Amino acid sequence: MALRVAINGYGRIGRNLLRAYFENGADPALEFVAINDLGKPEALAHLTRYDSTHGRFAGSVALDGNLLRITPAACGWSSCGNVSPPESSLRELADSVLGAVAEAASGLAPDAVPERPRSESRDATRAIRLLSEPAPEKLPWAELGVDVVLECTGQFRARRDAERHLAAGAKRVIIGAAPFDEVDAMLVYGVNHESLRASDRILSSVSCTTNALVPLVKILDAAFGVESGFMTEIHAVTSDQVVLDHTHRDVRRGRAAGNNIIPTTSSSIGALRHVLPAVGANIEGYSLRVPTQNVAAIDFTFVARAPVSAAAINAEFAREAAGAYRHILSYCDEMLVSSDFNHSPYSLIFDATETRVAGRQAKVLAWYDNEWGYANRLLDLCRYLAAR
């Protein structure tokens, strides 16, 4: 039986999730049964069809009372008919490098594009119930038999708030962000998701940056030993920021997003310390919000315990992108810019052109689509739950 999934909060992450589900082949192991958001149904349908960052939805989106009826197009990709699937360019990019390292990586095929289940029923119309209820405990999760709520409002990140979905009858909640306090499991798909226990009910898939930072640090630490490190997250704007100067809990985030580079906190450092406590204890960092629409980068400087060179670091990431981390890590040695990584499904794309070494200090750069990559990891977690 399919895992019955509901989305709470149909904003950037909620909509990316649903699009990614259809683009990836509408896996029959998952069934999206409801979306709860306070926006009007017409607006939610419109924003499903059109997206300034990821293009038009491939297929038809119709509103039928409180049902969102979605029929994906045969091609399955955003902007279908206008551009090739973005993964094809990533595949070309990866193939040039991975072909060279595949032999060294014990015969693994040089295919860095995440494996995606294809479904024969991918063209079938799906009906998803639209709800508009601000209080999670009043949502009809028991009536709808919801197995998992993907909590994507940004409003219910504390345990006792997430628990309100359980009170409504959901079996599990995945908070789509770093939690404000203790949850049953903080999961970075591809790194520690298999630590999930049957009894865990309130989960967090941490942040987009944490999904990039944790594997980056883990790989470096395993290969060279990370004595200490500093991360600068360079992040596109999010709807937590404002168009023009406005009051905000963080006075800097309250400044005009399109006109400033805005230093702010990053939840990824706390989450890194939780997932990788030993190495995380000596890592610090912060975020710079920059006036771009999507895609982020991690600039990570560390002191290595073992002798290190740029070539050795690059070789390590090329090897891992063809091996154990192939589903979440890609490797790039072309001179690209942030928009080239828009719509990338990876948690991180290691940029081999920017690796630098000075003595025992080294600096690396990794890109990630903070929306699309993250939405794909949430779907991965759902598929993992469905398969258990």
**Is residue 208 at the binding interface for ligand NAP, with CB under 6 A as the rule?**
yes
- Least separation in angstroms between residue 5's CB and ligand NAP is 16
- Among residues 75, 80, 152, 208, which one is catalytic? 208
- Opening angle at CA 329, ends 227 and 26, nearest 5: 145
Q: Which of 3, 21, 34, 37 binds ligand NAP (CB under 6 A)?
A: 37
54-60 CB contacts, 8 Å cutoff, 24+ apart: 54/16, 54/19, 54/78, 54/79, 54/342, 54/343, 54/371, 54/372, 55/79, 55/82, 55/83, 56/80, 56/82, 57/19, 57/22, 58/22, 58/23, 59/22
**Is residue 283 at the binding interface for ligand NAP, with CB under 6 A as the rule?**
no
**Is residue 134 at the binding interface for ligand NAP, with CB under 6 A as the rule?**
yes
CA–CA gap between residue 206 and residue 362 (Å, rounded): 26
CA–CA gap between residue 211 and residue 221 (Å, rounded): 16
**Is residue 43 at the binding interface for ligand NAP, with CB under 6 A as the rule?**
no
Q: Residue 32: phi, psi to the nearest 5?
A: -80, 110
CA–CA gap between residue 4 and residue 347 (Å, rounded): 25
- Least separation in angstroms between residue 270's CB and ligand NAP is 13
Binding to ligand NAP (CB under 6 A) within 348-387 occurs at 370-371, 374
**Is residue 300 at the binding interface for ligand NAP, with CB under 6 A as the rule?**
no
Total residues contacting ligand NAP by CB under 6 A comes to: 25
Q: Which of 24, 48, 78, 207 binds ligand NAP (CB under 6 A)?
A: 207
Q: Of 55 and 176, which has the nearer Cβ to ligand NAP? A: 176
**Is residue 177 at the binding interface for ligand NAP, with CB under 6 A as the rule?**
yes
Q: Of 238 and 314, which has the nearer Cβ to ligand NAP? A: 238
**Is residue 187 at the binding interface for ligand NAP, with CB under 6 A as the rule?**
no
**Is residue 39 at the binding interface for ligand NAP, with CB under 6 A as the rule?**
yes
Q: Which of 6, 13, 33, 70 binds ligand NAP (CB under 6 A)?
A: 13
Q: Of 224 and 374, which has the nearer Cβ to ligand NAP? A: 374
CA–CA gap between residue 45 and residue 23 (Å, rounded): 17
208 is catalytic: yes
237 closest CA partner among 256, 250, 222: 256
- Least separation in angstroms between residue 152's CB and ligand NAP is 5
Q: Of 111 and 286, which has the nearer Cβ to ligand NAP? A: 286
Q: Which residues have C-beta within 8 Å of that of residue 65, sequence separation ≥ 6?
A: none
Q: Of 225 and 270, which has the nearer Cβ to ligand NAP? A: 270
| 365 within 8 A of 351, measured Cβ to Cβ | yes
Residue closest to ligand NAP, measured at CB = 11
Q: Of 24 and 370, which has the nearer Cβ to ligand NAP? A: 370
**Is residue 241 at the binding interface for ligand NAP, with CB under 6 A as the rule?**
no
Q: Which of 88, 155, 259, 353 binds ligand NAP (CB under 6 A)?
A: 155
Q: Which of 78, 153, 210, 330 binds ligand NAP (CB under 6 A)?
A: 153
Q: Which residues have C-beta within 8 Å of that of residue 85, sequence separation ≥ 6?
A: 77
Q: Which of 11, 25, 169, 225 binds ligand NAP (CB under 6 A)?
A: 11
Angle, helices 86-102/310-321, rounded to nearest 10 degrees: 110
- Least separation in angstroms between residue 134's CB and ligand NAP is 4
- Least separation in angstroms between residue 41's CB and ligand NAP is 13
Q: Of 28 and 154, which has the nearer Cβ to ligand NAP? A: 154
CA–CA gap between residue 205 and residue 13 (Å, rounded): 12
**Is residue 239 at the binding interface for ligand NAP, with CB under 6 A as the rule?**
yes
Binding interface with ligand NAP (CB under 6 A): 8-14, 36-39, 134, 152-155, 176-177, 207-208, 238-239, 370-371, 374
- What residues are annotated to the active site? 208
